Amino acid sequence: MMSPNPALAVLPPLRGRVQREAPLAPFTWFRVGGPADVLVRPADAEDLLLLLRDMPGDLPLTVIGAASNLIIRDGGLRGVTLRLARGFGEVVVEPDGIVAGAAALDAVVAETAAAAGLAGLEFLIGIPGSIGGAVAMNAGAYGAEVKDVLDWAEVATPGGLLRLSHAELAFAYRHAALPPRAVVTRARFHAAPGDAAVTAARMQAIRSQREATQPVRARTGGSTFKNPDGHKAWALIDATGCRGLALGGAEVSEKHCNFLINTGAATAAELEALGEEVRARVLAQSGIALEWEIKRLGEAMP
């Protein structure tokens, strides 16, 4: 049992759900990880702003979305874990774009745009996450990234709601420059009228390619490591013979070796240790230090 955190008693009164000692593994695609001291699911943006304004500034704050690219360590998360849900899932079609709430799934945004006859957001169908996370990490796939289509993002901060332009977000590879303790609440993506049949075909091609090349039906977390300049992470890993390498219940995917898999009973520690073993072998063989793309959060078990 985790020791109680007295600061948790001074959270402001919220209309959303506040749950202490909350299991987090069921929310993650890997299905691993310890509990949150307290899990907060705000009712709406107003509720979120109240939380950020009035919670103690020294209380740790962690934001999780679809948790599709995340390992939560076995000891869990201290402080407040924030998860945006139903109040942040609206998707609005405009003549030349889409405004989507942070909790909207990337695939839903792609499908909504296509149904409205808008082209340019098809790549989102290949990103297994939510819009908030996609903005925060400049998610990308199949030749496009969020930075290529984003006009602005609204973020909640302790000082209020801000609308940040594309330039202000200073996008880099798998990174956006967000203010301290900022939480993405919604974003606008530009798109253009397009041929519905062409857009649908493009999306189906992406789906088919994912099915053929990635372990999409496994307990996984998407791409484990970033692609180094001039290299593909999977090729560097494959060259070391790590395809299929296992540690406890964790395994390097046979189908795509830049994916880790929980084969059923893995711990977060096993997944992370297997990833570090892969990094060590790639470094020894190629001299290239792979950087984690999967976020690893929380405390290890003693």
DSSP code string of 29-43: TT-----EEEEEE-S
- pLDDT at position 2: 46
DSSP 75-116: T-EEEEEEE--GGG--EEEETTEEEEETTSBHHHHHHHHHHT
Least confident of 8-22, 67-81, 266-280, 288-302: 8-22
pLDDT at 9 over 70: no
Mean pLDDT for the stretch of residues 183-189: 98
Check residue 155 and give its pLDDT.
98
Q: What is the pLDDT of residue 124?
A: 97
- Judge whether residue 106 has pLDDT over 50: yes
Tens of pLDDT, residue by residue over 220-274, are 998 999 999 999 999 999 999 999 999 999 999 999 999 999 999 999 999 999 9
pLDDT value at position 25?
96
Question: Mean pLDDT score of the chain, rounded to an integer?
Answer: 94
Distance CA 107, CA 112 (A): 9
Give the catalytic positions in this structure. 174, 223, 293
pLDDT band at 5 (very low <50, low <70, confident <90, very high): low
Residue 7 has pLDDT above 70, yes or no: no
The per-residue pLDDT for 23 is 97
pLDDT at residue 15 tops 70: yes
| pLDDT at position 163 | 98
Contact (Cβ atoms closer than 8 angstroms) between residue 184 and residue 152: no
Average pLDDT, integer, range 115-134 = 95
Mean pLDDT to the nearest integer, 88-102: 97
The rounded radius of gyration (Å) of the Cα atoms in the chain is 20
Average pLDDT over residues 143-163: 97
What pLDDT does residue 216 have?
86
Q: Residue 11 burial (CB < 10 Å; 0-12/13-18/19+)?
A: middle
pLDDT, residue 4, reads 53
- With a pLDDT cut of 70, the percent of the chain lying above it is 97
**What distance in Å separates the CA atoms of residue 278 and residue 73, rounded to the nearest whole number?**
18
pTM higher than 0.85: yes
CA separation for the pair 96, 110 (Å, rounded): 14
Chain centroid to CA 142 = 17
281-302 pLDDT tens trace: 999 999 999 999 999 999 999 8
